[in-house]
Amino acid sequence: MIQRAHKKRVIAISGGAKNIGKGIALKFLELGWNVGIIDFDKHALGEFDVKIPEEAKKSILLYNGDVSDEYAVSEFYIKLKEKFYRLDAIVNNAAIGGFKNFLDLSLNEWRRVIDVNLTGYFLMARLGVPIILETAGRGSIVNISSTRALMSEPGNEAYSASKAGILGLTHALANSLGPNIRVNAICPGWILHEDEIISEREHLQHLTGRAGRIADVAELVYFLVDDERSGFITGQYFVIDGGMTKKMIYI
């Protein structure tokens, strides 16, 4: 039964305590949503909690957990439903790099990247979708992939495979969950982290004349979550990279 008495919309964000995930969380807090964050980085969660205004804390749930752990994801959603009563959207953002020379990459290291970056997305969707259907009726999932799903450098095997897997998961979920839940992916390129500074030359290699900002991704997430703006879009991926994947570069 849909609990229509609880009108304030709710979004769950994995890896939401810093960088892109944090920017997305702050964007939705500004828009008046309730926000649930699951993040493995306990220190980042503490910093997030300290910095947000006191009046915003009633609108946020912070949970320290590993998205590759089914129990942790389940408990996160239990706490989220207890606090906010509903769920409208999921943003899968949690990821680890694991960049390493291929011939030095161990099976355990490979599995850890796949577990967090791909299986974690599966668990967030698998355990969150029933809550969306029960409480809101309709909703949206946005999966944060990467341009490394489409192009690579040496030592990217685990990360690139996980990010490409996210694109397959995205269109599969769009088929399985439509029409009530739309599922899309975003492939960011070079997005500057908090306080990251790069050279003018590094900016100018982009066709836009600059590297990406966290706000660029957060705005696109909001567009894809909002049914009025993007209600006819599902199963797609959106590259946000300043045009870098469209450049031919030869040595």
166 CB-side CA count, 13 A:
36
Asked whether 17 and 61 are in contact (CB, 8 A), the reply is no
Token pair recorded at residue 41: 């980085």
Q: How far apart are CA 26 and CA 105, in angstroms?
A: 36
Distances (CA, A) of 223 to 51, 214, 228, 230: 26, 15, 9, 6
H/E element, 44: helix 42-51
- Going from the C-alpha of 26 to that of each of 18, 51, 182, 185, the distances in angstroms are 10, 11, 22, 20
Contacts of 196 (CB under 8 A, 6+ apart): none
| Active-site option among 63, 159, 222, 250 | 159
* 159 is a catalytic site residue: yes
The catalytic residue positions are 159
